[in-house]
Amino acid sequence: MKRTSGVCLLERRAAGRRCLACLLGCYVAVAAAGLAHAGTIELVIDQTDGELFLKNTGGVADTLDGYTIYSSRSALLPAGWTSIAGNYDASGDSSVDSIADWFVLGPPTGGSFSEASLAEGSGSLTPGEVVSLGFSYDITKLGAFYAVLTANGENSFINGELRNLRADYNKDLVVDLNDYLVFQETYGSTMDLRADGNHDNVVNAADYTVWRDSPELVLAPAPSITQPAFIEASPSITTIPEPAAALLLLAALSPMALGRTPTALPRQR
């Protein structure tokens, strides 16, 4: 049994299920305990809209039994919280826990959200899996936020991280070349709006600019190359750094690749 400050966090009934009353008390006690830092689970808030996420950044699945998220400035928004309970558990779409139902542990407040499963070891985040906990953070009250997780049989502390995710078109919480590929795939669409970074209901050149100018953009070092021909160059920014392999991708976005036939210019007489 894992114990913290003398309080059992994995107390189970004879049938192998943990006591709900124990969880209600234990999750409060865990906040003040000496905890290990989780190595593969991230707590991220999109600072543009307040959406809150958990992500497994590791290469193997992480067991997740419960969590409590805290805000030092009471910036959490209970009305916007999308809990695992009823959404991602056996009563929801089963994406986090296909075996058990989760329970909200006490009423959510601006200071904390808490929930857990009664069946130990039934919840799981697969490698790279991202779980949205809803638009549940007031971005006008930026301050320290963190979580205590019961994962892989241990109680772990993780600091939250703010990111600007407007250009995270593939929703993996990282802005990189993969988001450019989504832009390329959906360019011109008014139906598939994954890459509609400026929310004008069409994927167009402006959304390329959102990606290019993102403060979160991470690309491998490479010589600068010009932006796609169908996008007017900004007076101040005419090139973007991208991996050399992206040259072929950018070439695919030329007017001819988009199904447009170049118009011949009249000859000068």
pLDDT of residue 226: 47
DSSP state of 264: P
State the Cα–Cα distance between residues 265 and 180, nearest whole angstrom. Answer: 32
Cβ atoms of residues 133 and 54 within 8 Å:
yes
**Ramachandran quadrant class, 96 (left: phi over 0; alpha: psi -120 to 50; beta: rest):** alpha
Phi, psi of 193 (to 5 degrees): -105, 25
Considering only CA atoms, which of 28, 29, 23, 53 is closest in space to residue 41? 53
pLDDT of residue 38: 53
How open is the CA angle 105-28-130, to the nearest 5 degrees? 60
How open is the CA angle 245-239-162, to the nearest 5 degrees? 85
> How far is the first Cα of the chain from the last one, in angstroms, to the nearest whole number?
90
pLDDT of residue 228: 57
Phi, psi of 241 (to 5 degrees): -80, 130
State the Cα–Cα distance between residues 143 and 111, nearest whole angstrom. Answer: 12
Under 8 Å CB-to-CB from 140, ≥6 apart: which residues? none
Digit-by-digit pLDDT tens for the chain (269 residues) are: 333 333 333 333 333 344 443 433 333 333 333 344 456 899 999 999 999 999 999 999 989 999 999 998 999 999 999 999 999 999 999 999 999 999 999 999 999 999 999 898 899 999 999 999 999 999 999 777 889 888 777 788 899 999 999 999 999 999 999 999 999 999 999 999 999 999 999 999 999 999 999 999 988 654 444 455 555 444 343 344 444 445 445 445 544 444 554 444 455 54
- Residue 136 burial (CB count, 10 A): 23
pLDDT of residue 230: 52
Cβ atoms of residues 28 and 22 within 8 Å:
no
Length in residues, the chain: 269
- Residue 192 burial (CB count, 10 A): 13
Tell the residue number behind the tokens 């999750």, with chain if given: 27
pLDDT of residue 59: 92
